Amino acid sequence: MPTKILFVITSLSTGGAESMLFRILERIDRSVYLPYVISLTTRGDFGVRINALGIPVEIFEIRWNLSSLCKLYHLTMRIRTLKPDIVHTWLYHADALGGLTARLAGVKKIAWCLRNGKIDKNSSFFSRKIGLPLCSFFSRFIPDKIVTCSQDAMRFHTKIGYPMRKMVLIPNGFDLSLYKPDSSAKVKLRTELGVDARTLLIGMIARFHPLKNYAGFLEAATLLSRNIPDANFVLVGAALDENNAVLVENTKRNGIREKVHFLGLRKDIPYIMSGLDIVASSSFSEAFPNVLGEAMASGVPCVVTDVGDSAYIVGDTGEVVASGDMPELAAAIERLLRLSSTERIALGVRARERINHLFNIENIVAQYESFYRDLLQC
């Protein structure tokens, strides 16, 4: 009989954790593992995509208020009915609530999954002062094992009380058949943007959030434009469109409006990635940023701030600068742009090889399958 695994996740909207869960479910050996998914809040795009794999997806629409206590009771009863061999929860809310209800339902093997390097200082008071300490306390009793996607996440969480003996590091993985170099994309993207075929494109692909530091990226773009006037900048992600008054005004104020392209939320990220010359990350905080692995798999070198596991992912195939140092970010991008096209392509080849060696999705899924086998035996 296949091992029945119930995955409980906070939401199935667009995000790094949701994307990684989908990649696992897409490839997990269904003759050995029988997956079922519960989202505590939304179905989202990934709920639809997981369902299309033939995997059941159930939505509880919990609203994080007292009226949802009844839904937690129903969640407990639902888990008891499903009788999973393993419950694997993803993200803080799911770890706490999904883990607790799984224990109440009598599940023998429970795993948590940590996706954050550190909690955002802009998070709610409840999350910072109550939610995280509560998760830290429960981590000693509820989960049998805790998967973490990054070394930085492991360090941070053990520092605040999560038990090191339960930690298992499994990094994110990337599909090298989906993300790959494509010279035709470089031509198509420049045509789409209405720029010269020789225009150098630097992209930042991330949600619009203070931690991603888009203001810093535009500061670096402004500095870079003084030395490389023909460089253009591509911003991709939810709310990163022409209606983003804050960033649009920023580009006007700094005289780079015509060089910055706001593409908003896109579903053709592999095409955009392979059309870029450089991918930059100006973040103040990360755990294991998927965008770097996707860019490198596409043969695109990265320039990143030294947060989370970013420096480890990039290795010697790109540039790493101190968090918050935007003049140096601009200088690092310029160093890569000053390379000949042959040198930059060679750097991209090395970047792709690094992803294939360390973070190939097939190898990462195999690590998860091994993790589930070990969990059943512990």
Q: What is the overall mean pLDDT for the chain?
A: 94
The CATH number fitting domain 183-359, selected from 3.20.20.210, 3.40.50.2000, 3.40.50.280, 2.30.31.10: 3.40.50.2000
- List the chain domain ranges: 3-173+360-377, 183-359
User: What is the arithmetic mean of pLDDT over 28-53?
Assistant: 97
Write the pLDDT tens digit of every residue in 305-336.
Answer: 999 999 999 999 999 999 999 999 999 999 99
> Is residue 125's pLDDT more than 50?
no
How distant is the alpha carbon of residue 317 from its chain centre? 20
User: What is the arithmetic mean of pLDDT over 104-122?
Assistant: 84
> Is residue 123's pLDDT more than 80?
no
Write the pLDDT tens digit of every residue in 271-297.
Answer: 999 999 999 999 999 999 999 999 999
Model confidence band, residue 126 (pLDDT cutoffs 50, 70, 90): very low
| 3-173+360-377 and 183-359, same CATH topology | yes
Write the pLDDT tens digit of every residue in 210-226.
Answer: 999 999 999 999 999 99
> Is residue 130's pLDDT more than 70?
no
Higher per-residue confidence, 61 vs 202: 202
Model confidence band, residue 138 (pLDDT cutoffs 50, 70, 90): very high
Model confidence band, residue 375 (pLDDT cutoffs 50, 70, 90): very high
Q: Which fold has domain 3-173+360-377?
A: Rossmann fold (3.40.50)
DSSP 149-162: S-HHHHHHHHHTT-
- The set of residues, in sequence order, having a beta carbon less than 8 Å from that of 31 and lying 6+ positions away, is 2
The CA-CA-CA angle for residues 119, 251, 274, to 5°, reads 70
User: What is the arithmetic mean of pLDDT over 226-239?
Assistant: 96
